[in-house]
Every structure is written in structure tokens, then in C-alpha cells.
Amino acid sequence: MSRHRPPGVLRRTATAAAAGALALAGAMALPAPAAQADTTAKGDVIANLWEWNWDSVANECTNILGPAGYGAVQVAPPAESLKQSSYYWWDVYQPYSYRLNSRFGNQAKFSAMITACHKAGVKVYTDAVINHTAAQTGTGYDGSTITNKYETPDWTRSDYHDASDCPTSDLTIQDYSNLTQVQNCELLGLPDLRTGSDTVRAGLANYLNSQLALGVDGFRIDAAKHIPETDIAAIEGKLTNTTSGSAPYVFQEIYPGATPRPSDYYGTGDVLDFTYASKLKSAFQGNVSDLSSIESSGILPAANSVSFVTNHDTERNGLHLSYKDGDTYKLANLFQLAYKWSTPTVYASWEWTQSDQAPPNSSGFVTGTDCSGGAWYCLDRDTGVVGMVAWHNATDTAAVSDWQTKSSDVIGFGRSGKGFFALNNGTSPATYTFATGMADGTYTNVIDGGRTTVTVSGGSASITVPAKGAVAFYNSSYTCAVGCSGAGGGSGGTVNATFDAYAPTTSGTNVYVVGSLAALGSWDTSKAIQLSPSGYPVWSGEVSVPVNTSFAFKYLKKDGSGNVTWESNANRSATTTTSALTLNDSWNVADTDATDVTFSENATTDWGTNVYVTGSIPSLGSWNTADAVPLSSASYPDWRRLAIVPKSTSFAYKYVKKDGSGNVTWESGANRSYTTGSSSGYTTSDTWK
């Protein structure tokens, strides 16, 4: 099957006229042999508009992605899914039925979105969740009710792996180095479909074919490592062509681990390269000069991979960079678009303060994306990113040339005379003379939308690269067409500060942060920034504050009548750099008296059950389980959370589990104990007992 070809630009003028004829092609069987990717083909950039609703995707295709030259858009899973009370983002990765009515819109809106994107010359790839169904029972976004996780509108118990296939007592994966467990047992309790069954294969193919019939051009296969490659190949063998008459493009999520290997899946599609994103994080948080050897650093072959800087999982678990890293994150994306390698993706989604946090929604249904309101981070339309999409398309398949390392923070390289790119990861502007490989002349800088120019003489140019910035050029007439305001990509003058404050409250009372900056209300309590209780009793909020600035701040509480209670300790202080910062605090624990303890507990749970720590001091809830500190499951089965506690203090603590109904289970045995010193960076290493 020809599933390795990255997205070329659609023929926009033919779309409407050919729709009827192409629909007939969709019923044809696919050819068998796989083709190699034509890496960095013109129009291959994928915009990953993660969990945008269908109306917003359609608008972005029409107004931004098409005019900017993106080749495709990746969208969220379109099937009906779990609708739990907190509307967490991961609802959509727990399918309830394969009806195309979801929290992003109904089937009619889904179809209209595809049509709009095609008219803009943009292909559509959906996130295909075909390894499992929902772990939680309840009601879905289209009204389906499930009372037994192994009985759904589409499947019965015999369609799932059971004890005859999975060797663990509770059917969940316990050993991620054991291939049988990885592919036959349940990922986090999610019912694992028996994809070796022809009945299951046919059912999954029917679901994907229903999307292909509406015009979908390809799929990102979620959790692909948990499905044997032979099963994916069998499912692909049952797929129809796209409405344009070609095989659907497939790229697969093979999350890092001992087994299986990414190379095991090259026969069924391209593979998302987690190592590439990790190498970018290492370089941009260290020395970007290390990127000169990126091709030999262990990343996947260009012909078999799709690159990315971050995704919805890794921006939350810290594996990769995220928008919280400010201009450093943006620079990594610019490099990805500049360097000739695999099919690149640009990720755009909402800003968050708690890892499970729901997208902006109304009763769970995702509301329209507002790229100017601060809730969404629309990197796809950033001036520099849009410019680099044009640069990427113009340089096409030209080889990397003229690599120059000017310092550990400054690099430059060309693309065999078709374009030149220079990057400065340092905190001060840098001026160097670069051998560009370009013909003599004056060129417009695509990073700033063409507002500045670069003059090449004798093949060389003196270029001043802004701090945490870049300069790129390929012709003399580039003019920014869309995204020219820079919205969504970081201003360069501000950075995101995340405030995380442990602060138990009574009902009707909220927690705020106020401080010496205008962005923090200038000490005016009526302008204080309200924090979110989504991770209660940890209150969180994100504020855009000036770079390289010292400021004072404090937390306060307001009850339902507007009465204000200030913390009793002295003002807190912080200083920004050019990178995002996170401030972890505990109510009434002064900065000078505080230290941090990262509580780490190894504990397996059922889906919907979370682990907390509570203890004998106010910073741990004073044994009140309602105020226990929630731990993160990002490294499950290890649950972790940094907590702010007093220095030089002895305390007792214990872990508890809370299920979705709020029922509390204490671990057995005596209380644990800990004593802090006068330094910082303390860590526990515990196992549930």
C-alpha cells in the first residue's frame, strides 16, 4: 500500500468539479507495495490543530493554512467518546461508538470541515483510536450509554483480549518490556481490541472507511505500538482509496519503550519520531551547535518518519518542549521547518495549567478557537512560522549546505542556494558574517514578515540575529500574507509565568494572585488574577509577564461576598528570563521558610482513580483528605508531585486513593515520616502498601 507519501498540495481548482467522479474511486481496492516518502516535498507541512472543533478547523484551513501553504491538517478523533463530568481532554481517547458525532461537532460539521479544507488546498488527517475503547462506563457525547466496558454499541466481550491472551491478573500491562503484555493486555485499563480477529479488523476498517468516504485523506494511528504490525497491515488491506483516488496516508504513534521498535512499523506507514523531538529539547535547552550532528544522533530515517517538536502527551509530561518554554519553543519549530529531514508538524492547541485540564468548552463540547483571547496558543499562524512554511516549501528537496557554527548558541545553514537560515538561541543579539550560498542581491526576512532585509554580496552576508530569534530568506519579494500580527507565537517581550499555589478553601472562596506588575494588577485586589481550582487544592494560573524583569507578588482569597484575605507572610518575589517559569507555593509558607519535596509513589489504579498525599502539616492538608495534594500520573504507575513545605520540619504523611465518586482508600500500615533540612530538592521514593 502506498501509505508513505507525505501530503502534496491539493489541486484546488479541480476539487469541486471532480468530487462526483472521485467518489467512485473511493470504492476501489488499494495497490499493495509501500512507497518511500519524498521527504520535504513541497506542501508537506502538517498543522496539528489538536482538539479544535470542526468549525474552527474549517475557518483555519480557509483563512490561514491554505493561504500559508500548509499541506495538511491533523485533527482530533472524530468518533463519539466518553463524556465524564470534568470533560477532560482524554475523553476523546476513550471511544464509545464509531458514530461521527463528537465533542467537536456532528457528522455534518465534520464533513463541511473536510470540504472547506480541501477547497483551501489542505488535506485532512484524523486521529484514529483503534487499539481500544473506553475504560469508563457512562454516557457518550452522542448519547450512547455503556454499563459494561466490554459491551459497546460496536463490540461484545469476545472482541477483546482476555485472560487467554494476557498473562497479568488484572489484564493490564505491568511490564512494558514484554511484547505480549504490550500488545495483548490493557493500556491503563482500556479494553484492548482483539485486532487479530477478522471481525474486529473489518469493524475498524468500516469506521475508517466511513471517514474516507467523506473525504478524509489519512490517519494518525494512536497507540500503534500496542497493535501488532501485522494487524495494522490487515486493517489497511480493507481500506478504500481516498476521494482523490490515492491510498490514505498513515503515520503511527510508537511511544518510546523497549518493545516494539519503530522500525517494526515501517511497512504500515511512517512513524512519529519521539527521539527527534527529544534531541531538539536537549539542544535548545543546551547548545544548538549540537544540531550539526542531528542526523547521526539516533533519530529515525527521514524516509520513514514524521517529525514534531511536541504533542499533547509530551508537552504535559515534560518529555519535550512546550509553549511554556516561550521563544525557545518557537525557535525549535523554526529549525524543524528549516532543516531538510522528514515530514514536519506544527502543533497548536489551548493553554493549560493542569495536565488533565479540559479544552475550552460548553458542557463538554469544545467551543470555538479564539487565538487572540489568551486561552489558545495558535503557533500555526505565528508570523515567523508562517514565513518558514513558505521558506520550507520554496527550498523543497534541496540539500542542507553551508553549515556554520558561530557559537554554542548561533548556527546558520543554507539549502543549496535556494534559501538561508540563521538562528540565535542566546539572550543577546548576535552579529556574524555568514557564507550563504545565495546569489548576490537583497532578500526579505520571512521571520518578521518581510519587514527587514538581508543583502548578500559575494555570497556572504552580515546578519544580526535577534536574541532568541532567527533570520531566514529565499527571495526578494516575500510578503507576509497571513498571521502577520504575530498572534499566537510568542511576542518576544513577554514570557508565560505559571502560578501553582496549594491553598485549601471553603466553598465559594477562590484564590487569586496579585503583584507589582500591571499584568498582576499592580497590587489592586480588584484586578487580581483568579486562579483555576481544576487541580484543587492546588490553584493554578498562567500570566504573560515581561521578560528579564523582577517582580513581587502574593496570593489572596476572596469569598462570595468579595471579602479579601491576604497571605500572612511577606511579599514573594521572582525574576523572569526569556524562558517560561513556574512558581510553586503553599499558602502562608513564606519563600524564606519554604523548601520543596517531590512525593513519588508507585501505585497501580483503576481508570478514574487517582493518588494523593496528605499529612500532619497544613501544606499537606493536616490529614484532611479533601485537601490532600493530587499527584500526577504522567509517569504511571509512578505518581509524582512537587509540594512546598516548611524547611527544617519533621512531619508524618500517607498516600490515599480517590475514585471518580470521591471514595477514599488509605494505604495500609503506619504513617510515613520525613524531615526536611535547610536546602531544597528533596524527594521520596515510596510504594503503595
Q: How far apart, in whole angstroms, are the C-alpha atoms of residue 208 and residue 95?
A: 14
Q: Using CA atoms of 2, 390, 489, 371 in order, give the dihedral in degrees to the nearest 10.
A: -80
| Cβ pair 81, 96 in contact under 8 A | yes
DSSP state of 379: G
Q: How many residues does the chain have?
A: 689
Catalytic annotation, pick one of 60, 222, 236, 380: 222
Q: How far apart, in whole angstroms, are the C-alpha atoms of residue 549 and residue 531?
A: 22
One-letter amino acid at 514 equals: V
| Cβ pair 686, 646 in contact under 8 A | no
Q: How far apart, in whole angstroms, are the C-alpha atoms of residue 605 and residue 189?
A: 9
Q: How far apart, in whole angstroms, are the C-alpha atoms of residue 96 and residue 138?
A: 9
Which grid cell sits at 448? 518578521
Q: What angle do CA 239, 240, 244 make, to 5 degrees?
A: 135
Q: How far apart, in whole angstroms, are the C-alpha atoms of residue 525 and residue 556?
A: 8
Which grid cell sits at 298? 539516533
Closest CA to 499 of 533, 465, 472, 473: 533
Beta strands 510-515 and 550-558: pairing type?
antiparallel
Tell me how far apart the terminal alpha carbons of the chain are, to the nearest angstrom: 51
For 311-332, the DSSP string reads: -TTHHHHSSS--GGGTHHHHHH
Which grid cell sits at 499? 502560578
Count of H-run helices and E-run strands, the chain = 11, 40
Catalytic annotation, pick one of 80, 192, 236, 253: 253
Closest CA to 239 of 455, 424, 25: 25
| Cβ pair 516, 553 in contact under 8 A | yes
DSSP state of 282: H
Q: How far apart, in whole angstroms, are the C-alpha atoms of residue 247 and residue 209?
A: 12
State the CB neighbour count (10 A cutoff) for residue 614.
22
Give burial (CB, 10 Å; 0-12/13-18/19+) of 310.
buried
Q: Any residues with CB less than 8 A from the CB of 222 and at least 6 apart, and which?
A: 77, 93, 127, 128, 129, 130, 131, 253
| Cβ pair 4, 304 in contact under 8 A | yes
Give burial (CB, 10 Å; 0-12/13-18/19+) of 215.
buried
Q: How far apart, in whole angstroms, are the C-alpha atoms of residue 319 and residue 281?
A: 8
Residue 116, CA distances (Å) to 139, 348, 651 in order: 31, 19, 60
DSSP state of 609: -
Q: How far apart, in whole angstroms, are the C-alpha atoms of residue 342 and residue 5?
A: 11
Note the Cα 146 to chain centre separation in Å.
29
In the residue annotation, 448 being an active-site residue is answered as no
Q: Respond yes or no on whether the N-terminal peptide bond of residue 429 is cis (omega within 30° of 0).
A: no
In the residue annotation, 222 being an active-site residue is answered as yes
| Cβ pair 351, 316 in contact under 8 A | no
Q: Give SS3 for 534.
A: strand
Q: How far apart, in whole angstroms, are the C-alpha atoms of residue 337 and residue 490?
A: 17
What are φ and ψ of residue 108, in 5° steps?
A: -65, -40
Tell me which residues are annotated as active site.
222, 253
